[in-house]
Amino acid sequence: MISERARTAYSESADHLARRALDALQGAGGAAVAAAHVEAAASEPEGDPAVALGAVRVLGADVLAPYVLTGLPPSEGETAAVGLALGALPPADPPPPAPPEGPEQAWTVSWIGWGLATALSRLGSAASPASPAPLPPAPPWCDDSAPRRLPVSPADGGSGGPAREGWVPWSIRMGQLASLALPGLDGPVHAAARSGVLGLARGATRATLRRDFPTAARITRWLAWLHADGARLPLDPALLTEYTGLVGGGGRTALDTAIARRLLGLEPV
């Protein structure tokens, strides 16, 4: 059981790491992201390299976003740091079942780990894991017409068809998986995003109206990914992206917004 103090340490470390990734993406802080973060934690009197490695796992593939989006190769030190984080906290094998059958947090962490390992592998690094991370079970699918979770019909349960849930919890869960909204990553979560465009648009609008800007930025990032994927959207994701960029706060929200801007072509690649 993670204590509240440890949870705060991981959250703060992940926010610092997100700012490093943002600086690297914008060409303002050097190319190193994970390596610089872990080295800084090791050199600081109160730093904890284990927490820094945990932050790499929390941020997931976003640690590698500056390389994925710019085409620049990561250094050996950078890929070694990511590989160390994956080795120290390997993705669960076999992955936990998708909610509601399995614990939601463990399933989400499993998908974030898959994204990090897959992004590292596709960058062609010698430090990539020897074998790809196991593919977690597919997420529930969105029912755009229902604000609450719907029970699975007997036909779905008997035939192995996907469970469906209302767009509110579904869009929030998709926001938690926003680090998967990067070029080069594709899987069941991305298929769910393609089939739930309206649910994501509603979720981003709801989060914005509720002034929950971190959630709004994460869900809007999926809309930006869908736009880059060629999907037709019921709203303009650029307007939402620009708005969350103005009012949102924190390193992770700023990084989500910057990645969305790249996906939308609002900034040069």
pLDDT in tens, 7-27: 888 889 999 999 999 999 988
108 and 36 housed in the same domain: yes
Is residue 70 domain-shared with residue 148, that is, in the same domain? no
85 and 150 in a single domain? The answer is no
Spatial contact of 159 and 214, defined as CB atoms under 8 Å apart? no
Residues 127 and 211 placed together within one structural domain of the fold: no
Average pLDDT value over all residues in the chain: 86
Cα 262 versus chain centre, distance: 15
pLDDT at 161 over 70: no
Q: How far apart are CA 147 and CA 206, in angstroms?
A: 12
Residues 258 and 153 placed together within one structural domain of the fold: yes
40, 42, 43, 47 alpha-carbon torsion, rounded to 10°: 80
- How many structural domains does the chain have? 2
Instruction: Give the angle 98-203-183 at the CA atoms, nearest 5°.
Output: 70
Do 223 and 118 belong together in one domain? Answer: no
Same domain, 45 and 58: yes
Is there a single domain that holds both residue 82 and residue 147? no
Domain termination site, one of 108, 135, 162 = 135
Decide which of 101, 135, 169 is a domain's last residue: 135
Q: Is 159 found in the same domain as 251?
A: yes
Residue 2 reports pLDDT greater than 70? no
DSSP H or E run through 254: helix 251-264
Q: Same domain for 99 and 174?
A: no
The label of the residue with tokens 């945990």 reads 54
Res. 162: pLDDT tops 60? no
Domain extent at residue 107: 1-135
Q: How confident is the model at residue 154 (pLDDT cuts 50, 70, 90)?
A: very low
